């Protein structure tokens, strides 16, 4: 038997053992607190990765149906970019197959005509789009699809995520807020994901792959296609230009949710041109 076959068989045995062990675990708990205590007990190695509390997002079909019943795809269209906008928080149910995109789309169609809910349907389309891109190009997940369009090359970016980002102790109070939220809840609003990803890649000049790993470690909806290809879009390795923002933008969309005052977020201050000149000094005007 070749070394490869021996490794494959060992892998299969380990997987069977894991599935067997999981089947022995209790499935019913009198209350959520008992479930949380049990999961903590059987996963001590996760202690460093988890926030102090379990996520408020509940698992299971009943919780998914309740969340689906609450969506407002019409309000979504004009408020979704604001951190207190009418986003659905359905992502973890969709990611884990508890709700299908089709079911969500059909439910939305019962709540408003096509035009009124167009933006919502388009966003569902993004999930499908990333899955299809991944299925057609599985090797795009972890490698730069194109070069960075930032005036820097990949070697100019650090391989590892700096400790202060991992700990949520950066120079920006808003980013620290998003990092703590990500760790404590396993969820971030799309705009917060874009801000934090851009901060990692463009302000701190860290490879998008390091940021993507950090997100996947903590997101309950963590999905390598949506996550990594979105990171590549922010980074500009899968887009014509980098995504970045300034303090005015952050304050407009996030101040109702995170600490966004100038004093604690100076690194984002200035016009878009000012910020671009600081972040991308080797580039022509964007």
Ligand X SMILES: Cc1cc2nc3c(=O)[nH]c(=O)nc-3n(C[C@H](O)[C@H](O)[C@H](O)COP(=O)(O)OP(=O)(O)OC[C@H]3O[C@@H](n4cnc5c(N)ncnc54)[C@H](O)[C@@H]3O)c2cc1C
105 Cα distance to chain centroid: 21
Residue 186, SS3 per DSSP: coil
193 belongs to the binding site for ligand X (CB under 6 A): yes
How far apart, in whole angstroms, are the C-alpha atoms of residue 78 and residue 81? Answer: 8
Instruction: In angstroms, give the least distance from the CB of 57 to ligand X.
Output: 10
214 belongs to the binding site for ligand X (CB under 6 A): no
194 belongs to the binding site for ligand X (CB under 6 A): yes
Which positions from 114 through 153 interact with ligand X, judged by CB under 6 A?
123-124, 126-127, 130
Looking at 236-271, list the stretches that DSSP marks H as alpha helix, in order from N- to C-terminal side.
247-254
Q: Total residues contacting ligand X (rule CB under 6 A)?
A: 28
146 Cα distance to chain centroid: 21
| Phi-psi map region of 113: left, alpha, beta (phi>0 left; psi -120 to 50 alpha) | beta
How far apart, in whole angstroms, are the C-alpha atoms of residue 94 and residue 81? Answer: 20
Instruction: In angstroms, give the least distance from the CB of 117 to ligand X.
Output: 11
221 belongs to the binding site for ligand X (CB under 6 A): yes
Roughly how many angstroms between the first and final C-alpha of the chain, as a whole number?
Answer: 58
183 belongs to the binding site for ligand X (CB under 6 A): no
Residue spans of beta strands (DSSP E) within 58-174 = none
Residue spans of beta strands (DSSP E) within the chain = none
95 belongs to the binding site for ligand X (CB under 6 A): yes
Instruction: In angstroms, give the least distance from the CB of 87 to ligand X.
Output: 4
Binding segment for ligand X (CB under 6 A), chosen from 21-29, 80-88, 255-263, 275-283, is 80-88
151: its two tokens: 């005036």
Binder of ligand X out of 148, 152, 215, 268 (CB under 6 A): 215
210 belongs to the binding site for ligand X (CB under 6 A): no
The 8-class DSSP code of residue 263 comes to: G
Instruction: In angstroms, give the least distance from the CB of 103 to ligand X.
Output: 12
Report the interface residues with ligand X, using CB under 6 A.
Answer: 80, 87-91, 94-95, 123-124, 126-127, 130, 189-190, 193-194, 197, 215, 219, 221-223, 226-227, 230-231, 234
């Amino acid at each position: 038997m070749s070394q490869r076959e021996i490794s494959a068989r060992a892998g299969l045995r380990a997987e069977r053992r894991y599935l067997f062990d999981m089947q022995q675990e209790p499935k019913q708990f009198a209350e959520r607190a008992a479930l949380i205590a049990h999961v903590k007990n059987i996963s001590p190695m996760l202690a460093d990765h988890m926030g102090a509390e379990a996520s408020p997002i509940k698992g299971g079909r009943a919780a998914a149906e309740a969340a689906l019943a609450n969506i407002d795809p019409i309000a979504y269209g004009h408020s979704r970019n604001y951190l207190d906008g009418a986003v659905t928080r359905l992502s973890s149910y969709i990611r884990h197959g508890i709700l299908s995109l089709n079911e969500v789309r059909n439910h939305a169609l019962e709540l408003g005509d096509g035009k009124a809910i167009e933006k919502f349907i388009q966003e569902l389309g993004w999930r499908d789009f990333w899955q299809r891109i991944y299925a057609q190009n599985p090797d795009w997940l972890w490698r730069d699809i194109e070069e960075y369009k930032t005036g820097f090359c990949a070697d100019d970016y650090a391989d590892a995520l700096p400790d202060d980002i991992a700990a949520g102790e950066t120079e920006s109070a808003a980013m620290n807020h998003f990092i703590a939220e990500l760790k404590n809840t396993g969820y971030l609003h799309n705009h917060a994901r874009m801000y934090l990803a851009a901060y990692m890649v463009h302000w701190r000049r860290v490879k998008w792959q390091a940021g993507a790993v950090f997100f996947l470690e903590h997101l309950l909806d963590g999905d390598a296609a949506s996550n990594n290809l979105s990171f590549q879009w922010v980074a500009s390795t899968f887009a014509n230009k980098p995504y970045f923002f300034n303090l005015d933008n952050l304050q407009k969309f996030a101040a109702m949710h995170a600490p966004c005052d100038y004093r604690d977020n100076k690194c984002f201050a200035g016009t878009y041109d000012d910020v671009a000149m600081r972040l991308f000094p080797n580039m022509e005007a964007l």
